[in-house]
Amino acid sequence: MDAIIRNFPHRPEPQAKSADTSAFLDRPVTDRPSREEAEAAVRTLLRWAGDDPDREGLRDTPARVVKAYQELFSGYDRCPADELGRTFEEVAGFDDMVLLKDISFHSHCEHHMVPIIGKAHVAYLPNGKVVGLSKIARVVDIFARRLQTQESMTAQIATVIQEILKPRGVAVMIEAEHLCMSMRGIQKQGSTTITTTFTGAFKEQPEEQVRFMTMVRDPRKG
Ligand SMILES: Nc1nc2c(ncn2[C@@H]2O[C@H](COP(=O)(O)OP(=O)(O)OP(=O)(O)O)[C@@H](O)[C@H]2O)c(=O)[nH]1
Ligand SMILES: [Zn+2]
């Protein structure tokens, strides 16, 4: 949990605390450099790469890069716990698996700041309440729009859903290509990294894990 709390450095205005979400809202605010400082850093990188930041084609690039980073790293300004705050009473007694498959995401690895492109599969076993389907995808999106390792992102998604929704169990699988392994370094194109994590009934009952895996691979067999 601590790791998740530490990953909220820039949330500007903490919302009202509730018993369920307080742990996700008490996070330190760190000094953020100004936009001008960020643009100056991009200019330095352009020069370091060997180009001239004053040539016409690059003149607006620092501003564009900063604007793009604001979007790509907007997950630091958002709280995944907030997304899960609105729930619905269990629909018509439904308490079986809810699985969102193939949630596409773009993230950036914390080692090289190079894209991680992949999809997440997230399931939970409701325990008296369900959450809007889009909220699960929003949680994935918020964590993806931070610097990540795939393992951390997998664990963070499961932890926040387990802590806030308190279902009988959560299962998360992420499949992703790390461009730091294909564009540079070892240069292995097309390799996929798969990570999984399970809580509650998914952790304790192997048959629930199998059912999750089967539904991820072929939902007709679930
Ligand atoms: N476990 C894990 N490793 C990652 C992830 N994304 C990137 N990496 C790895 O992070 C490692 C960083 O290794 P370092 O030796 O510190 O850095 P490097 O010299 O740039 O490594 P190379 O990529 O091997 O050239 C590399 O092996 C990457 O493949 C991730 O999500 N999870
Ligand atoms: Zn990397």
Instruction: Copy the structure tokens of residue 162.
Output: 């387990």
CA of 185 to the centre of ligand 1 (A): 9
Q: Which two tokens stand for residue 110?
A: 């914390």
Q: What is the CATH number of domain 88-221?
A: 3.30.1130.10
CA of 12 to the centre of ligand 1 (A): 32
CA nearest to 146, candidates 1, 29, 7: 7
Is position 180 annotated in a ligand binding site?
A: yes
- Buried/exposed code over 87-111 (b: 16+ C-beta within 10 A; e: otherwise): beeeeeeeeebbbbeebebebbbee
For the beta carbon of residue 8, count every other beta carbon within 10 angstroms: 22
Does 79 count as an annotated binding residue? no
Which run of H or of E encompasses 104?
Answer: strand 98-109
For residue range 128-145, list pLDDT tens digits in order: 889 999 999 999 999 999
180 lines ligand 1 (CB under 6 A): yes
Q: Give every CB contact of residue 39 below 8 A, 6+ residues apart in sequence.
A: 62, 63, 65, 66
110 is catalytic: yes
- Whole-model pTM above 0.90? no
Please report the atom of ligand 1 found closest to the CA of residue 152.
31
* CB-CB contact of 103 with 136 (8 Å): yes
92 lines ligand 1 (CB under 6 A): no
Q: Is 109 a catalytic residue?
A: yes
Reported ipTM exceeds the 0.95 cut: no
Each residue of 46-96: pLDDT tens digit? 999 999 999 999 999 999 999 999 999 999 999 999 999 888 876 667 889
Domain boundaries, given as residue ranges, for the chain: 35-72, 88-221
